[in-house]
Amino acid sequence: MDATGLEILALLLCLVGLFIAWWQWQQIRVEKARQWPKTEATIESGELEVLASNRFESVRLPVFAFSYKVDGEYHSGRFALTPYSVSYDESIIVQMIGRKLAVCYSLADPEKWLIPDDMIEGYKVEQRMGPHLFGYYPRN
């Protein structure tokens, strides 16, 4: 292997190492957030939204808005659900409205939250915090 090949290999190994370090850092953040205090949240609304799109296809997922109360103040968040099958049942939106769920929140900043459940009703919870390869969570 010549010098150029070794440089390319070293660069690739550095990139893989950086990705692994980033992934582990994200997992540590989630594990720390799971230790935050918990409160009860209520799902207020839901609708199908396009969360990712390219020339060939769009990813439409059910997205839910919820609210929770900390020290007398209301806070809110949004999350999506991803089915493990190719399709999903749109009735999940109606089923989820009004549902209660646990939310962990930061004592330092109650606007920061984490839904500790990885799955709800057989769907994967997509939220901002965590190691994501694809950003299938609502932007705001």
Specify if 108 maps to a domain: yes
Domain that holds residue 39: 34-126
Residue whose structure tokens are 């007398």: 72
Specify if 140 maps to a domain: no
pLDDT at 75: 97
Query: Is residue 125 a contact partner of residue 118, using CB atoms and an 8 Å limit?
Result: yes
Kindly state the tokens that stand for 103.
């939310």
Specify if 136 maps to a domain: no
pLDDT at 99: 96
pLDDT at 115: 94
pLDDT at 130: 67
Q: What is the H or E stretch that residue 17 is in?
A: helix 3-33
pLDDT tens, 116-125?
998 888 888 9
Query: Is residue 96 a contact partner of residue 114, using CB atoms and an 8 Å limit?
Result: no
Q: Of 39, 49, 99, 50, which Cα lies nearest the Cα of 75? A: 39
Q: Of 3, 7, 126, which Cα lies nearest the Cα of 62? A: 126
Specify if 118 maps to a domain: yes
Residue whose structure tokens are 């901002």: 128
Query: Is residue 61 a contact partner of residue 136, using CB atoms and an 8 Å limit?
Result: yes
User: Per the structure, how many domains does the chain have?
Assistant: 1
Specify if 131 maps to a domain: no
Query: Is residue 66 a contact partner of residue 42, using CB atoms and an 8 Å limit?
Result: yes
Q: How many CA atoms lie within 13 A of 10 on its CB side?
A: 7
C-alpha 24/C-alpha 130 separation (Å) is 10
Specify if 15 maps to a domain: no
Q: Going residue by residue through the chain (140 aa), what tens digit of pLDDT does each one get?
A: 677 878 888 888 888 888 888 878 878 888 888 999 999 999 999 998 887 767 777 788 899 999 999 999 999 999 999 887 656 677 889 999 999 999 999 999 999 999 999 888 888 899 887 666 566 777 66
Specify if 92 maps to a domain: yes
Specify if 78 maps to a domain: yes
